[in-house]
Structure 1
Amino acid sequence: MTSSRVHVGGADPYDVVIGTGVLAELPGLLGEGVRTVAVVHNEELPEIARPVREALEAAGLVVHPLPVPAGEAAKEVGVLAGLWSRFAEVGVTRSDAVVGVGGGATTDLAGFAAASWLRGVRAVLVPTTLLGMVDAAVGGKTGINIAQGKNLVGAFHPPAGVLCELTTLESMPREDYISGLAEVIKAGFIADPVILDLVEDDPEGACGAAGPHTRELVERAVRVKADVVAADLRESGLREILNYGHTLAHAIEKAEDYRFRHGHAVAVGMVYAAELSRLAGRLPAGLVDRHRAVLASVGLPTSYRADAWPALREGMRVDKKSRGATLRFVVLDGLAEPGRLAAPAEDLLAAAYRRVSG
């Protein structure tokens, strides 16, 4: 086993274990007194959940695999209610635990199920995608979607630990892996420019798990998020910077009925936020160009349909960063210098979108 740890501080501290052969650490992360473990996993990938189950059973735990739909279809009220019923049937008590295994949608659901069952039971997350490792599983945000928007129902529920088994990335489809790179690149723009240097050094290598910088990219992106959420778990201020590019991205996902890859939407959203920053006189054109160049170098989109603006503008009205009727954006004042832009003028919003429409 080769691994490293990123510590997430705060009121409920935990470790993110990153490496190969790390599943042996899973029982230890659950803590004392656990007898029954509900393993929530993607129903289409039972083979991913199998080694998790075996690691838990080897420690003498009673394990109940609970399959859920793949992707965003898992993050529905009906699926969550089904998990509650299953928790009752298998006897998950307050001293027991939930383990979420899969991509970001699965770990979001598993985390919220743990947060809401008996007013909160322990959860350990085992993300199996790049997006899950660097974003969804770290930070304690859990939730589901409703028709009006993504992640509007949820809770802050820090896990007892996160295991990033890097070998699971090897079987990811290339497009899905590249989608996850958007969140890695985002971490570079808001906090750690070395990430951008590593991607620019070898764009093709960055596009797969076998690349020379994979482990460092994952560790750096996780550390950016860990540092932010340790200082601001409940998104009262600093944590908003992690939503760079997400205001437009969530509107795109909603317009596409969540069939558009999250990372692809975030890529477009980052270019939009950069253009908004430039038009507001806060970001030089060269850094906007760098957004387009680094994202395009790994095959991520940098534009979206011109005719979509009315629907996207309406979709942005329901955004978690909004305060009352005031729309707020995370923008950049320079490389690794995030800021906020509140209540931008409508003509500014439209002008920025024209720069990313194609």
Structure 2
Amino acid sequence: MPSISLKTPSASYDVTLGTSLLKTLRQRITRATGSRTSRIFFVTSPALWKLWGEAVTESFESATVLFLPAGESHKRFASVEKLLEQLARNGADRDSILVAFGGGVVGDLTGFLAAIYMRGIRVVQVPTTLLAQVDSSVGGKTGVNLAAGKNLVGSFHHPVAVIADIDVLQTLPKNELRAGLQEAIKSGVIRDPKLFSFLEKNADKVLAGDTKALQTVVDRSLRVKADVVNQDELENGLRMILNFGHTIGHAIEAATKYTVLLHGEAIGWGMIAAIRLAEQRGAMSEKDAKRVVDLIHRYGPLPAFKAKAERLVELSAGDKKNRGGAKRFILPTGIGTVEIVTDVTEDELLAATSAMLQEMSAMTKTKKQVKR
């Protein structure tokens, strides 16, 4: 099985990628954690467990399953407290292992649980969405949302292993598959032009759920993530580039109360806003900008949403990349290259966000005309 290694100052672990991995999940967890294992606790959503629970627990003598309702709206402290109480009541101790079996919300929240329960226990990430497989399950970021913004509370708590089974993606709803592919596009834009070209040339296979094509996408995206995290574990510099599209993307999620768009869909619109800003500044060629925007829409359609540009810019002020009063923005300069800039003005960001909203409005009108 392909394996990708992460080696940071505080943690070292492998990401295993392949097919039929759920059948040997117990052995893989034991191999990663050693004999110091008392209890295993799965955190997952009811719908996902209904699909895959039997396959997961087949190799386990015993495991406790804790449920987290699906959706970004449940990534809150109320869910954290409820799950912590369940861990305590079920006898979880410092040798227990949490297994995050789900998408980005489950992964982020379970990682946070592991970071704070008894001052830290081990966690294994078993991502089941494309978005989680290509990005959020790796790197140790955990978090919960506040009303003021996304992931404003959290910690760095690396998993002891990441096990990504491509087979699980076959039951993924099409909109979630497409949303996850936006994060793969992000990886291509910031650091891997070969991945970007692969996504361009193999769109039909990828969107059809072809196993080999999806495995290539996940593999190359994870290698981008691992390379960046290995160089900058705590996001003091280079790791910020992984947030390309997230400044406005997170603002869109907050403005729509996390109920209108999937995370990847919001990031798609956020990347378009960043592309428009790069064009305004002359940082990116018109040809490259068109290629990126065309690919974003190829893996869409991105849902429309209601929000004013001024509100999105206002919400972006709480972005976690901002340091010491300086607003940091990830600006694409080509396909495979970005830069971190600190001199983006509010007027520039407003103009780029307005351009993105105008593009969305034009697309919506076109769709209505076609329906007529």
Q: TM-score range by the shorter chain?
A: over 0.9
1:212 Cα deviation from its structure 2 partner: 4.7
SS at match of 1:55: coil
The secondary structure found in structure 1 opposite 2:154 is: strand
Show the 5 A alignment for 1:1-358: 3-11=1-9, 12-23=11-22, 24=24, 25-47=28-50, 48-57=52-61, 62-210=62-210, 212-259=212-259, 260-301=261-302, 308-358=308-358
Q: Name the SS for the 2:233 alignment partner.
A: coil
Consecutive unaligned residues in structure 2, runs of 5 or more: 359-372
Cα–Cα, structure 1 residues 140 and 66, in superposed 2: closer, same or farther, change >3 Å?
same
SS at match of 2:155: strand
Query: Could you tell me the TM-score, scaled by structure 1's length?
Result: 0.94
Question: Which AA in structure 2 matches 1:203?
Answer: A
2:327 and 2:53 map into 1 onto residues whose CA distance is: 41
CA contact (8 A) 1:303 1:357 kept: no
For 1:91, what is the secondary structure of its paired residue?
Answer: coil
Q: Residue 249 of structure 1 aligns to a residue in which SS?
A: helix
Q: Any idea what the Cα deviations from partners look like across 1:165-205, whole Å, max 9, x if unmatched?
A: 11100011111100000000100000111111111112222
Measured against aligned partners, the alpha-carbon deviations of 1:69-112 in whole angstroms (never above 9, x if no partner) come to: 11213311011011111111111111221111011101111110
Query: What's the offset of the Cα at 1:304?
Result: 6.3
Cα distance change on mapping 1:166 and 1:303 into 2, 3 Å: same
In structure 2, what is the Cα distance between the partners aligned to 1:67 and 1:107?
13
Q: Say if 1:26 and 1:55, in contact at 8 Å, map to a contact too.
A: no
Deviation, 1:255, is 0.7
How far the C-alpha of 1:356 sits from its partner, in A, is 1.4
Give 3-state SS (helix, strand or coil) of 1:236's partner.
coil
Residue pair 2:310, 2:350 contacting (<8 A) in 1 also: no
C-alpha distance in 2 between matches for 1:220 and 1:333: 21
Moved over 6 A (4+): none
Return the alpha-carbon distance in structure 1 between the equivalents of residues 173 and 46 of structure 2.
17
CA distance in 2, matches of 1:114, 1:99: 9
1:303 to partner: Cα distance: 7.8
- Structure 2 contact 111–142 (Cα < 8 Å) conserved: yes
Partner of 2:368: none
- Shift in CA distance, 182/355, structure 1 to aligned 2, threshold 3 Å: same
Once the 2 structures are TM-superposed, how far is the Cα of residue 278 of structure 1 from its aligned partner? Answer: 2.1
User: Residues 26, 74 of structure 1: CA spacing in aligned structure 2 closer, same or farther, 3 A cutoff?
Assistant: farther
- Compared CA separation, residues 8 and 77, structure 1 to 2 (3 A): same
For residues 286 and 211 of structure 1, the distance between their equivalents in structure 2, rounded to whole angstroms, comes to: 31
State the Cα distance separating 1:50 from its structure 2 match: 3.3
Identity %, equivalent residues: 36
Structure 1 stretch displaced more, 38-47 or 78-87: 38-47
C-alpha contact 2:182 2:299 (8 A) present in aligned 1? no
Contact map agreement 1:41 1:101 (CA 8 A) in 2: yes
Segment drifting more, 339-348 vs 215-224:
339-348
For residue 344 of structure 2, give the secondary structure of its aligned residue in structure 1: coil
SS of equivalent to 1:94: coil
Contact 2:255–2:311 (8 Å) recurs in 1: yes
| TM-score (normalizing by structure 2) | 0.90
Larger mean CA deviation between 76-85 and 246-255 belongs to 76-85
Listed as ranges, the gaps of 5+ residues in structure 1 are: none
Whether the 8 Å CA contact 1:41–1:102 is kept in 2: the answer is: yes
CA, structure 1 residues 302+193, in 2 after alignment: closer, same or farther (shift >3 Å)? Answer: farther
Q: Conserved in 2, the CA contact under 8 Å of 1:331 and 1:340?
A: yes
Structure 1 residue 345, shift from structure 2 partner: 2.0
Task: Tell me the CA shift for residue 277 of structure 1.
Answer: 1.7
* One-letter code aligned to 1:36: R
Work out whether residues 248 and 312 of structure 1, in 8 Å CA contact, stay in contact via their aligned partners in 2: yes
Tell which deviates more after alignment, 284-293 or 125-134. Answer: 284-293
Relative to structure 1, the CA distance from residue 104 to residue 208 in structure 2 (aligned partners, 3 Å threshold; closer, same or farther) is farther
Q: How many residue pairs were aligned?
A: 351
**Contact persistence 1:274–1:332 (CA under 8 A):** yes
How far 1:342 sits from its partner (Å)? 1.1
